[in-house]
Amino acid sequence: MSSFSEANRKAFNDLSEAYNSKPWQRKLSSQVADALQDRKNWIGVQWATTDDKRDVRLLDYACGTGAITKALGPYVTTIQGIDISEKMVEEYNKAALSSGLQHDQANAVVGDLFAEKIPEHLTGPRFQNFDIAVIGLGFHHFEDPALAVNRLVERLKPNGVIVIVDFLPFDQERKREAELRAQNPRADFPEMSHTIKHNGFERDGMEKLFTDAGLEDFGWNVLDEQAVMELPKGTVHRTIFVAKGKPTDALGTFKTVG
């Protein structure tokens, strides 16, 4: 694990018990859930139905306490969470059990798919052939976004879908933070600003990441309602986007409108 990934692991461990405990955090989770549920058809997955017994598999990567799992759980049959934070994984699995899900329906493990050498425990059939892989508000924490997309593509079924939910650029917010740090070098920013690697993403950059990884049928939606985050440095507003793409060889059999 790189030093940056280790910083993320420690930071999310520290936040795990209080994660999603504040009103603005719960509101943000609801915004993401609503965005995905409202865009189910647009995403293009052949979702599970009461009449269809097929296994629809979701990879919830950087799963945290399970916001993506809660949003898409009703439309899939099997969910695999992965997170580098062991404390987040503990919270995820406790929440899954308390909601009545069995271990074979929804379970998270500690792991890093983006490490130089993928851990052996993430190489078995359980971690392959997903119908959909989702990263919810974790992409700006990743050290190498291009590697991340490529590694997720490797985990998809031929007609699978990658979905990334994240923020448009928030450079001005980060600039202001730098000014505050300069004014007070001892200032503490416990909202994990030190683990943010990228100040958000533009459509063109995200589309290039997808295309370079062999994904097509690119789709991009920006939410109308901004996220409001009450951080120790003050109230900040960020704009959320949803991006999706399919492997090139899937387009001959199943095409959606982006």
Task: Kindly report the three-state secondary structure assignment for every residue of the chain.
Answer: CCHHHHHHHHHHHHHCCCCCCCHHHHHHHHHHHHHHHHCHHHHCCCCCECCECCCCEEEEECCCCCHHHHHHHHHCCEEEEEECCHHHHHHHHHHHHHCCCCCCCEEEEECCCCCCCCCHHHCCHHHCCEEEEEEECCHHHCCCHHHHHHHHHCCEEEEEEEEEEEECCCHHHHHHHHHHHHHCCCCCCCCCHHHCCCCCCCHHHHHHHHHHCCEEEEEEEECCCCEEEEECCEEEEECEEEEEEEEHHHCCCCCCCC
Tally of CB atoms within 10 A around 70: 19
User: Under a CB-based contact definition with an 8 Å cutoff, are residues 132 and 43 in contact?
Assistant: yes
Nearest to 209 by CA among 183, 181, 245, 175: 245
Cα–Cα distance list, 220 to 23, 41, 166, 241 (Å): 28, 14, 11, 7
- Per the document, the length of the chain is 258
User: Under a CB-based contact definition with an 8 Å cutoff, are residues 32 and 134 in contact?
Assistant: no
User: What's the pLDDT at 183?
Assistant: 60
User: What's the pLDDT at 62?
Assistant: 96
Radius of gyration of the chain (CA): 18
User: What's the pLDDT at 251?
Assistant: 44
- One pLDDT digit (tens) per residue for the chain, 258 residues: 677 777 777 777 777 667 777 899 999 999 999 999 999 999 999 999 877 778 999 999 999 999 999 999 999 999 999 999 999 999 999 999 888 888 889 999 999 999 999 999 999 999 999 999 999 999 999 999 999 999 999 999 999 999 999 999 986 665 555 555 556 655 554 456 678 888 999 999 999 999 999 999 999 999 999 999 988 778 999 999 999 999 976 544 433 333
User: What's the pLDDT at 54?
Assistant: 83
Tokens representing 169?
């650029």
Nearest to 128 by CA among 157, 158, 163: 157
* CA dist., res. 124 & res. 206, Å (int): 29
Domains and CATH numbers, the chain: 3-250 (3.40.50.150)
User: What's the pLDDT at 175?
Assistant: 56
* CA dist., res. 205 & res. 226, Å (int): 21
* CA dist., res. 139 & res. 62, Å (int): 9
